Amino acid sequence: MQRAGAMAKARKNSKTNLKPRKGQGDVKLSRAEFERRFSERFYDPAFDAVKAELSRVTEIAWKVYDEYHKSPRKRKAGKGFHDPEFELPVEWLEAREQIHLAEQRYRDAKRPARILLVSGADRHDQTCPGEMSKSFRLAEMARAEIEKAGCECDLLDLGRLAAEYGRQILPCKACVSTAMPLCHWPCSCYPNHAMGQVNDWMNEIYPRWAAAHGVMIVCPVYWYQAPSALKLMMDRLVCADGGNPDPTATRGKDPEAAKALELKGWHYPRHLSGRFFAVVVHGDTEGADTVRRSLTDWLLDMDLIQAGAAAALDRYVGYYEPYATSHAALDRDAALHAEVRNAAKILIEAVKLARAGKLAQPGRGIKEPRPK
C-alpha cells in the first residue's frame, strides 16, 4: 500500500528516478522458434490439406509479431479524454462503452436488482473430469433464491475456461506495481494481437461486475487457495480498484508518464464501490476458512460491502471421505444447502434495502487518510 507521507516526500524529491528498471532479459523469439510454436495449433493431420495456405498465414503472423502490431486498429480518443487526439485501440473503446452502459443499468432504479453469481470452480462436466463441480450445484441453489426474489441473476461459470474453445482469462501483468495510473480501467494490456493474446474473457466480465448490485461467489479450495480460474479473474479486476479510466493521460502504456502522474497525487477511483457481496467456500479437508477470509478481504479492499455475517461461510463436504462419493456427500448435507440459500437471501435483502435507501452504511463518506 502506498503511504500518503511517502508519496508527498517523493513528490518533493526532484531527484526521484522515474526511469523504469530493466534487466530480466530479452524474450524476442527467433523466426524458427516462432514458427515452431505457431504451427503447434495446426498439429492435427486435418490441416495437412492446407499446408500452402498455412505457410502464407505463418508468414503474416511472423510479420505481425516481428513488427509488434499489438493494437492494429485504433481511433482518436475523442471528447471526454485528457488528450482527444490520442489514438486508442478500438477494442478498448468498445469495452469501455459496454462498462458505461452497464453502469447506467446499475444506476437505473426502475430496473430489477441484479446479482452476479460466480461459480468459481475449474471443473466442468463437458471436459475430462466428466462431472460437474459441487460449486456449480451450490450456485444453482443460490440462483433459485435470487430468481424467486424477483432479481436478475447473471451466472458466471468460470469452469468454461477449461471446457469451452477459445475461452480464456489472460494473466495480469501487474502494471499497477509500476504506477497505479498505468493500470487502465478496463484493462488495456489485452488483446495483444502481436503476441497472439486474444479471446480474453475479461472485456465481457468487466461489464457484468459493473452492472451488478450484488455479487455472490461460490468456490472450492484448490491446494489451500482459490481455484486458478477465479484467481485469474481476481487479478484482472485490480483495475477496478484505483485503475485509470483515461489511457491518454499516460500516453497509452508509458511507464514514466504514469509514474509522474501518480506522484502528482492519484485519487484511486473505486469503480465497483458500494456493491454488496456474499461468499461461500467449500473444501474436503483443509483451507476453506483461509480462502473465505482471502476472498472476503479482497472484496472489502475493493470497497464492496459484506451483506451480513452469515453471507460469508466456509464448510467441508464429505470431510476426509473419498472424492468419488463427494457429490453423494453434498446430497446429504441439507444444512449446507440451507446455509447457501440463506447467504443468497441475505445478499438479496441487503441489495433491496440499499436501493430503497433504507440500509444505513456508516462511514461511506469518510475520507481515507492513507489512499491505496
The C-alpha atoms of residue 50 and residue 41 are separated, in whole angstroms, by 13
Check residue 1 and give its pLDDT: 44
How many domains does the structure of the chain reveal?
1
Q: How many CB atoms lie within 10 A of CB 58?
A: 16
Q: If 0-12 CB within 10 Å is exposed, 13-18 middle and 19+ buried, where does residue 64 land? A: middle
Q: Which three cell numbers stand for residue 215?
A: 455479487
Cis-peptide into 186, omega within 30 deg: yes
Range of the domain at 144: 113-355
Could you tell me if residue 39 is inside a domain? no
Check residue 364 and give its pLDDT: 80
pLDDT digits (tens, 9 = 90+) for 25-41: 999 999 999 999 999 99
Could you tell me if residue 280 is inside a domain? yes
Per-residue pLDDT of the chain (372 residues; tens, 9 = 90+): 444 555 555 555 545 789 999 999 999 999 999 999 999 999 999 999 999 999 999 999 999 999 999 999 999 999 999 999 999 999 999 999 999 999 999 999 999 999 999 999 999 999 999 999 999 999 999 999 999 999 999 999 999 999 999 999 999 999 999 999 999 999 999 999 999 999 999 999 999 999 999 999 999 999 999 999 999 999 999 999 999 999 999 999 999 999 999 999 999 999 999 999 999 999 999 999 999 999 999 999 999 999 999 999 999 999 999 999 999 999 999 999 999 999 999 999 999 999 999 998 888 878 888 876
Q: If 0-12 CB within 10 Å is exposed, 13-18 middle and 19+ buried, where does residue 177 land? A: exposed
The C-alpha atoms of residue 5 and residue 11 are separated, in whole angstroms, by 10
Could you tell me if residue 285 is inside a domain? yes
Check residue 6 and give its pLDDT: 59
User: Which residue type sits at 145?
Assistant: E
Could you tell me if residue 31 is inside a domain? no
CB contact set of 48 (below 8 Å; sequence gap of 6+):
none
Of 133, 235, 217, 129, the C-alpha closest to 177 is 235
Could you tell me if residue 172 is inside a domain? yes
> Cell numbers 484505483 correspond to what residue?
242
CATH number for the domain that contains residue 271: 3.40.50.360
Could you tell me if residue 254 is inside a domain? yes
Check residue 121 and give its pLDDT: 98
pLDDT digits (tens, 9 = 90+) for 268-277: 999 999 999 9
Could you tell me if residue 246 is inside a domain? yes
Q: Which three cell numbers stand for residue 276?
A: 454488496
Of 268, 253, 233, the C-alpha closest to 189 is 253
Check residue 70 and give its pLDDT: 98
Could you tell me if residue 79 is inside a domain? no
Check residue 4 and give its pLDDT: 56
Check residue 276 and give its pLDDT: 98
Of 314, 193, 185, 317, the C-alpha closest to 250 is 185
Q: Which three cell numbers stand for residue 315?
A: 464448510
**Is the separation of the CB atoms in 89 and 186 below 8 Å?**
no
